[in-house]
Amino acid sequence: MYQQLNGERSGVLEPEHGCRGRTRNRWWRSVLPLALVWPLAIGAHPLTVATSGENPTLGAPLDFAALSFLLGDWETHWERLPGEDISKAQEVLGFTRVSWGGDGAWLELHGSHTLPGGEKYDVVVLVAPRAGSDELRAFVMNSHSSGAEYRGRIREDGVLEFETTLGAKVQRVTYSQLPGDRVRFYVEESVERSGPVPHSQAVWVRAPRPSAEHPEFRALPRLRLYSRSVVGPYSLHPEVLQELLGRAETIGAQPSQVVALYLSDPRKTESDDLRWSLGFVLDEAFDDEIEPPFELIEIPGQDVVSLQTPLESLGAASQRIDEWMGSAGLRQSGPTRVIWTVESGEPRPGLVKLIKPVTAE
């Protein structure tokens, strides 16, 4: 049987294969059902992101290294100012990643924002020294235009400044370093015989690194699961898990992770009516027939927020992710997942991975 989870995207962080033997220690028989009585709901709510860019040895002119204050991952708080096309200011939250490209020969900026109404605004900027001069050149592509080239320079005060002509307008963009490891982004436009008019501005705040206490945002690939679907209470987890791992041994599979999918909100669903499944990851080459009561579940790739947490703290971790999604204008877009590692045929005690697929509000 084949099941397609539309609106859901993959939730395992590049899962591997590898377990050996059968279950011995049954610690999870008591811990797992209790831990899963927290809200595994499809809800609405926060996000930021993590990891930071590195600064490799530069092959470019010395002044180009002055751009290194832009490197890393940033939460961007962007404000579109009133003007010809909008009557009042619009505030937008997003994420920007800046890194070196070509061993320091150019700078790459990748930004992603969600505009009011849910429309995505993505931008890519490439910056490099202009050959034979002390100027910079930048090429900008975004989801609302066909691209533009900018002339740039590093001013004596350390501000990075770019300028281009867009029809009858001259647009000037500046990046400046602020105290507290922040960056100010400012755009102004002017037309012939008139002074510059503010267009938009943003403050970048350094995004925290992921940790056991801070959610991580990332895109995950497609996932295929050899699964056992259940309608019933979470107390059945140990029984279903033993059945699943027994089938894995029968067909010669060696899963190193088990993936749980939760399709019901336990706050709104009677225990006997809860819909959930347990499965292990299949590689793309697997095409054997899967006999009932097992089935193939395929989850398309998707953006997710994840948090590594002790199994007994799943409730608090779920609430932490929901709060974070809400502050970033995101909402959950599919079933919650929990992933735990399997060793010697049984779940390993310790940390599990809680994952929620997300989309813009």
Interacting residues of 59 by C-beta distance below 8 A, sequence separation 6+: 102, 103, 104, 105
Q: Residue 153: phi, psi to the nearest 5?
A: -155, 160
pLDDT at 209: 57
pLDDT at 63: 61
Average pLDDT for 196-206: 86
Task: Report yes or no: 101 and 126 within 8 Å, Cβ to Cβ.
Answer: yes
Task: Report yes or no: 44 and 361 within 8 Å, Cβ to Cβ.
Answer: yes
Average pLDDT for 286-295: 92
Q: Are strands 197-206 and 182-191 parallel, antiparallel or unpaired?
A: antiparallel
pLDDT at 349: 67
Highest-confidence range of 104-113, 117-126, 255-264, by mean pLDDT? 255-264
Question: At residue 67, what is the residue type?
Answer: L
Taking the C-alpha atoms of residue 210 and residue 168, their distance in angstroms, rounded to an integer, is: 45
pLDDT > 90: what percent of the chain? 28
Place of tokens 């990643």: 97
pLDDT at 20 over 90: no
Highest-confidence range of 153-157, 226-230, 324-328, 345-349, by mean pLDDT? 226-230
Taking the C-alpha atoms of residue 186 and residue 158, their distance in angstroms, rounded to an integer, is: 15
Place of tokens 């992101």: 49
Domain annotation for the chain: domains and CATH numbers = 2-47+213-360 (3.20.80.10), 62-206 (2.40.128.20)
Q: pLDDT confidence of 208, banded at 50, 70, 90?
A: low
Q: Where does 232-350 show beta strands of DSSP type E?
A: 257-262, 275-281, 294-299, 302-310, 330-332, 336-343, 346-347
Residue 80 in tokens: 């579109």
pLDDT at 12: 31
Top pLDDT among 44 and 339 is at: 339
Question: At residue 271, what is the residue type?
Answer: S
Phi-psi domain of 259 (left: phi exceeds 0; alpha: psi -120 through 50; beta: other): beta
Q: DSSP state, 360?
A: E
Task: Report yes or no: 277 and 260 within 8 Å, Cβ to Cβ.
Answer: yes
Average pLDDT, rounded, for the chain:
77
pLDDT at 87 over 70: no
pLDDT at 45: 25
pLDDT at 210 over 60: no
Taking the C-alpha atoms of residue 26 and residue 349, their distance in angstroms, rounded to an integer, is: 10
Class of residue 278 by CB neighbours under 10 A (exposed 0-12, middle 13-18, buried 19+): buried
pLDDT at 278 over 90: yes
Q: pLDDT confidence of 14, banded at 50, 70, 90?
A: very low
In this predicted model, what pLDDT tens digit does every residue of 295-347 receive, in sequence order? Answer: 999 998 889 999 888 777 788 788 888 888 887 788 899 999 999 887 766 77
Highest-confidence range of 22-31, 46-55, 86-95, 198-207, by mean pLDDT? 198-207
Average pLDDT for 152-174: 90
Phi-psi domain of 105 (left: phi exceeds 0; alpha: psi -120 through 50; beta: other): alpha
Q: pLDDT confidence of 219, banded at 50, 70, 90?
A: confident
Taking the C-alpha atoms of residue 304 and residue 334, their distance in angstroms, rounded to an integer, is: 10
Phi-psi domain of 237 (left: phi exceeds 0; alpha: psi -120 through 50; beta: other): alpha
